[in-house]
């Protein structure tokens, strides 16, 4: 003998059937779905199909995220589903708890895709896709070409601890991005905007950052030295007000870079090229400048206390 569970019911939404529980629909007690299927409700749909499913003339495509929200308490929308449609369904069914969230998503969605800031998820998916491509055995060319994010908007993105080696980020907008502990080694960051980015402990071996904007960035403890000898190139970069304390910058090229008011305490700057750099009011105390090239550099009001290697005239004069 079969047992009938009156808590279960089937909805026919625009021709697609969804099986769920009354208790699930009741999780938002003031919404139309909860009131439609409450015991003794006067709003219960009066029409059922041949299988007994309750007919509701709405879009199943936009209804599914709402039902899943009632099931899990979290809002998930397939990338191919327009959130504006889900918002209209939420308004129709009186789902007040998710309307503000959907309105925010819809506002972002209205911005053209190529103008929206990429998220950590976007980058991770691209990295995974690149890894899968690199692992293919049927490729005629097995060389790692790297990813191209040239000129894209990554402002404020959380990219911490990601492996982004060999990535092309030329002209990219990385303002305020979080890159703590990330690996940007051998990446291309020419003229990228990294102002006020958080880059503490970032690996930047052999990175190319000509004329990049790093004003106010936190690069404390970053590592620029490539044991294989490929020097990091930050020629002409703007590092005004940045924090580079304790960074390993042996052999780095900072020719004609702007380093005003930079914290470079206890840095390894052996064989660094600082010719023509603006080091006004820069704190270089405790740093190692052995064989560094400081010819033509502006050292006005720079702090040079406790230097591991005394500066010589040949280092500072053309």
d(CA 300, CA 313): 15
Do 95 and 140 lie in one domain? The reply is no
Reference 32, options 61, 6, 51, 58; nearest CA is 58
Q: Is residue 117 part of a domain?
A: no
Phi first, then psi, for residue 207 (nearest 5°) are: -70, 150
Q: What is the pLDDT of residues 228-270, one digit of tens each?
A: 888 899 999 999 999 999 999 999 999 999 999 999 999 999 9
pLDDT at 144: 46
DSSP state of 229: S
Quote the CA–CA distance of 242 and 220 in Å, as a whole number. 9
Lowest mean pLDDT among 129-143, 202-216, 236-250, 267-281: 129-143
Residue 30 in this model has a pLDDT that exceeds 60: yes
Q: In which residue are the tokens 């129709």 written?
A: 92
Q: How confident is the model at residue 147 (pLDDT cuts 50, 70, 90)?
A: confident
Q: What average pLDDT does the chain have?
A: 86
Any domain includes 205: yes
Residue 146 confidence (pLDDT): 67
315 and 176 within one domain:
yes
For residue 156, count CB atoms less than 10 angstroms from its CB and return exposed for 0-12, middle for 13-18, buried for 19 or more: middle
Same domain, 84 and 139: no
Report the number of distinct structural domains present in the chain. Answer: 2
Q: Are residues 25 and 68 in the same domain?
A: yes
Q: How confident is the model at residue 43 (pLDDT cuts 50, 70, 90)?
A: confident
pLDDT for position 128: 85
My answer on whether 184 and 294 are in the same domain is yes
Task: Give the model's pLDDT for residue 140.
Answer: 36
Instruction: Kindly state whether residue 191 falls inside one of the protein's structural domains.
Output: yes
Residue 296, domain member (yes or no): yes
Q: What CATH number should be reported for the domain holding residue 282?
A: 2.160.20.80
User: pLDDT higher for 107 or 308?
Assistant: 107
Q: How confident is the model at residue 162 (pLDDT cuts 50, 70, 90)?
A: very high
Which residue range(s) make up the domain with 141?
132-318
Residue 312 near residue 291, CB atoms below 8 Å: no
Residues linked to residue 18 through DSSP beta bridges, in sequence order? 11
Say if 1 falls within a structural domain.
no
Q: Is the pLDDT of residue 1 over 50?
A: no
């Amino acid at each position: 003998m079969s047992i009938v569970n009156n808590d279960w019911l089937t909805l026919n939404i625009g021709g697609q059937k969804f099986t769920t529980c009354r208790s699930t629909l009741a999780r938002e007690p003031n919404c139309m779905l909860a009131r439609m299927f409450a015991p003794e409700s006067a709003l219960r749909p009066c029409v059922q199909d041949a299988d007994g499913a309750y007919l509701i003339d709405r879009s199943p495509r936009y209804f599914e995220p709402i039902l899943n929200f009632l099931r899990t308490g979290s809002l998930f929308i397939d990338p191919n589903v327009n959130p504006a449609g889900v918002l209209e369904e939420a308004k129709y069914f009186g789902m007040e708890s998710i309307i503000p969230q959907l309105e925010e998503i819809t506002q972002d969605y209205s911005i053209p895709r190529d103008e929206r800031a990429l998220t950590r998820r976007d980058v991770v998916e691209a990295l995974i896709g690149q890894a899968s491509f690199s692992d293919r055995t049927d490729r005629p060319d097995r060389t790692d070409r790297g990813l191209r994010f040239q000129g894209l908007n990554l402002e404020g993105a959380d990219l911490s601890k990601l492996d982004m080696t060999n990535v092309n980020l030329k002209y990219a907008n990385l303002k305020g991005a979080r890159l703590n502990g990330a690996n940007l080694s051998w990446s291309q960051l020419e003229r990228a905007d990294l102002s006020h980015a958080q880059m503490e402990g970032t690996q930047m071996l052999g990175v190319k950052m000509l004329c990049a904007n790093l004003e106010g960035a936190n690069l404390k403890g970053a590592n620029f030295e490539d044991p294989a000898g490929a020097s990091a190139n930050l020629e002409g970069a703007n590092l005004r007000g940045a924090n580079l304390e304790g960074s390993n910058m042996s052999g780095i090229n900072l020719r004609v870079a702007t380093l005003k008011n930079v914290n470079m305490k206890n840095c390894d700057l052996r064989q660094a090229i600082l010719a023509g750099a603006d080091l006004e009011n820069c704190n270089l105390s405790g740093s190692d400048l052995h064989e560094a090239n400081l010819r033509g550099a502006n050292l006005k009001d720079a702090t040079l206390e406790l230097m591991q290697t005394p500066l010589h005239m040949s280092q500072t004069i053309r």
